[in-house]
Amino acid sequence: MKTYEHIVELLGDKASHYLDHVSEKITKDELQLPEKNVVDKVFLNSDRNTRVLGSLSKLYNHGNLAGTGYLSILPVDQGIEHSAAFSFYKNPDYFDPENIIKLAIEAGCNGVASTFGGLGLYARKYAHKVPFIVKINHNELLTYPNKYDQTLFGTVKEAWNMGATAIGATIYFGSEESNRQLREISEAFAEAHSLGMATILWCYTRNEAFKTDTEDYHSSADLTSQANHLGVTIQADIIKQKLPTTNYGFKNIGFGKFNDAMYETLTTEHPIDLCRLQVANCYMGKIGLINSGGGSKGESDLTEAIITAIVNKRAGGSGLILGRKAFQRPFKEGVELLHGVQGVYLEKKVTIA
């Protein structure tokens, strides 16, 4: 796992930019920060039943980050979302879903998120050894032309029967089908909670109008933050979101509700401040924000993953859900990369901005 000195060396001349920044718009004192007793602190007075509290505790207290309030989750549903051949050609071992589970265990992840078929095939062998997060809907790419939609691939009861600790789902906020997805997943989350499972929502934005000739606002801080706010509204216990890379989506696309003052009051152009706006929209950090790791680019993966972890942690987020950078490389290297990311969250010198 990376020490502070290793992190500074890896960042090079960018070290001060990421490690010394202080957020002054939304300050750390206003946030619920990740901590050992985060489940008690946030959910003890909620309407979640005791079994949901147990499932959340199981997630937060498993693996190398156990007891820190942070999460390192391995997500592998790209075989459906991005097509299997394209996702696994760099390491064909992962056509076998057992290797996905083995990677999560060996790397000390808090949990493994994957499909009904992949997790179900090995549920009896592994569901009691690492928390299962069953992804209940997907956007499959075989439909032509491709469309922005998420389809349920199974039932909440199926996930419960295989011993899942949590279910995960995606809503494409902004898409034509988003209202239907919102209804489906809110009902699924209510059922999951009634059965004692935790809920994780992939809060992604999808609309062709969100990408202009000059900028892609799918990852703008204001749009993704509003998606987060919708996600916590349907009682997601954890929010998954892409790290923001820009801002002013509402303003520059010209829709929704916006005011110049809201941008000036809440954030700056610094990546940590942009991410903090995402955290604020998760009920000021009470619902944990985990950012995704993004695609694999090869040699730069470790540096990019470390930067993403630093931005998330210093913004007040609760961890990373990183897949492609880990599984699209040899097994041992994938484990080492995940350990490197976990090291950021274990390093006390990497503080909240």
Compute the distance between CA of residue 340 and CA of residue 313 in angstroms, rounded to an integer.
14
Per DSSP, 209 falls in state G
Q: Is the distance from CB of 312 to CB of 292 less than 8 angstroms? A: no
Q: Where are the beta strands (DSSP E) in 115-186?
A: 132-135, 137-138, 151-152, 166-173
Residues in the chain: 353
Selecting among 2, 58, 135, 240, the annotated active-site residue is 240
Which of 84, 22, 60, 30 has its CA nearest to residue 352?
Answer: 22
Two tokens, residue 34: 């990740």
Burial 27-56 (b: 16+ CB within 10 A, else e): ebeebbbbeeebbeebbeeeebeeebbbbb
Compute the distance between CA of residue 300 and CA of residue 200 in angstroms, rounded to an integer.
28
Our answer to whether residue 102 is catalytic in this structure is: no
Q: What is the CA radius of gyration of the chain?
A: 19
Compute the distance between CA of residue 19 and CA of residue 347 in angstroms, rounded to an integer.
12
Catalytic center residues = 240
